[in-house]
Structure 1
Amino acid sequence: MNVALYGERRKHWAMTERGRNAVSRNRDEFVIGPSSVDWDGEALTFRIDEVATPFPHRLQGVVRVHPSALTSKAFTLDPAGLHHWHPIAPCSRVQVDFRQPSMRWLGVGYFDMNYGDRPLERDFSSWEWSRADTRKGTVVSYDMVESDHERTSLAMRVDRTGAVEHLEPLPRAKLHPTGWRVPRTARGDAQQLVTVTRTLEDAPFYARSQLSATLLGETADIMHESLSLDRFRMPIVQAMLPFRMPRKSF
């Protein structure tokens, strides 16, 4: 269960990998160690009980995702059809209620899923993804570079009924790289600035950022991710992962 909480002064991160005996699931519930996810037909509820890293402290709370509608279509990301992306609930209302740390929040959110038949790093070099909440729905951009350097882009707007409108990808703007020199580009309207308002995660192979841009004529706050799978494959990066992602068999 990956949990990332960002406050004004402090952020909290947990991602413990667990063994087979600590994981179970049925049609409506998925259990991962002391945490779980369940679906009641109206809301997806995350019941979180994790230990943050690198300085251990408890993360305990509940997150509820209330979709305005569900989408049924998944998108193939590679020519061989091995990797897929499903924007399940692009327009959602989210309730956050944490005991440790004490935190409550209500706002808009997003829920998607990636799945495939083999590890991402075997078939992709990098990708960038972004989403923004606008008056007409959620705007999503997805740019992938495959291992053979072929490029694929997806762009769409999903309204609150779940209807998907495919868009031509907006122009790409080059952003400042992160402290780890992870490249960042983002899409926005032509001749309009795209700016980084906050870098939330800065890792050797991954960055999560908040951006501000004009999308389809509307000023929007954007959640953005950059992933370098070329870097992820490097032995030194693999050796660093257990310090941020501890592994337990229970």
Structure 2
Amino acid sequence: MSVIAFIGSVFSPWYRWSGRRNPANHVCINVATYGRGGRFTMTDRGTAALRQSNDTFQVGPSQLRWRGGRLEIDVDEVSSLPLVSRIKGRITLTPSGLSDVELPLHPEGTHVWRPFAPTARIDVDLNRGWQWSGHGYFDANFGTRALEDDFSYWTWGRFPLQGGSACFYDAARRDGGTLAVGVEFDENGNVRPLDLPPLTRFSRSLWAVRRETRADPGHRPRQVKSMLDAPFYSRSVVRTQINGRQTTGVHEALDLNRFASPLLKPMLAVRVPRRAGWRFED
């Protein structure tokens, strides 16, 4: 599953149509579960639905709270079409270590990546019978310009390794430059040296989004499970080989030329409803 908290909801058509003038007026907590009966929630809310403190981020009825060295995520959302239902419960992420790495993704500093907890454990307790524990990850992205203004293509992968994990960022910039980054973390969040494996293409997504990630020479990554498919975006479980070891992790590919098309925005509005009038009762 994945949880993404937004101020200035990057993929919200409502934010784009507003001219992106006020990020705090387009906030949401996106929750996606995968597999049979999976749900997708991404309700765009206004400034009245946002509350923040040093250790709490709340949007409407859902919130993220840092407490006792753990990230607690309380979810109370309604999923979008075609499977409309309430998703409620708690997700707890416990890092094995924290990282202070801050990586600019663009030479002008308009996009920055912060992998706060590259290796973590998650415990899921949601309604609809979703109770399980597993391997988790916690990061953040910050930007002062729209993704599609600075990049035409973007791919990211995070793969568990022995005693830690590796993250890869590759992107094509609008100015003709490229981004090619690989970082390995130990369990405590410390950076370890990593020789960047070759960038290797593998099968396109259901919507024919181009996909590539890092793999040892001669090895071709493969999709193990599709998680989310959209005309401009793919999230999937991918198996690759790094430094001679097979590993299975999460991979994303984003075609920002497609995303920039105004034809996509009405389609997105079906999956991303706007609830501008939501307010706290107290």
TM-score range for the pair, normalised by the shorter chain length: over 0.9
Q: Return the alpha-carbon distance in structure 2 between the equivalents of residues 222 and 73 of structure 1.
A: 21
* TM superposition shift of 1:168: 3.0
Query: Counterparts in 2 of 1:1-250, with a 5 A limit?
Result: 1-7=29-35, 9-54=36-81, 55-99=83-127, 101-249=128-276, 250=278
**CA deviation vs aligned residue, 1:110-141 (integer Å, no higher than 9, x gap):** 01000011221111111100011121311111
Answer yes or no: is the 8 Å Cα contact 2:202–2:220 preserved in 1. no
SS in 1 for 2:39: strand
What is the Cα-based RMSD across aligned positions, in Å?
1.1
Q: Return the alpha-carbon distance in structure 1 between the equivalents of residues 269 and 212 of structure 2.
A: 29
* TM superposition shift of 1:35: 0.3
SS in 1 for 2:145: coil
Q: 1 or 2, which has the higher strand percentage?
A: 1
Q: Which of 168-177 and 223-232 deviates more?
A: 168-177
* TM-score normalised by the chain length of structure 2: 0.85
Q: Return the alpha-carbon distance in structure 2 between the equivalents of residues 163 and 74 of structure 1.
A: 12
* TM superposition shift of 1:13: 0.7
Instruction: Report the number of matched residues.
Output: 248
Q: Return the alpha-carbon distance in structure 2 between the equivalents of residues 116 and 200 of structure 1.
A: 25
Q: Which amino acid aligns with 2:200?
A: A
Runs of 4+ more than 3 Å apart: none
* TM superposition shift of 1:197: 1.1
* TM superposition shift of 1:234: 0.2
Answer yes or no: is the 8 Å Cα contact 1:155–1:166 preserved in 2. no
Answer yes or no: is the 8 Å Cα contact 2:201–2:220 preserved in 1. no
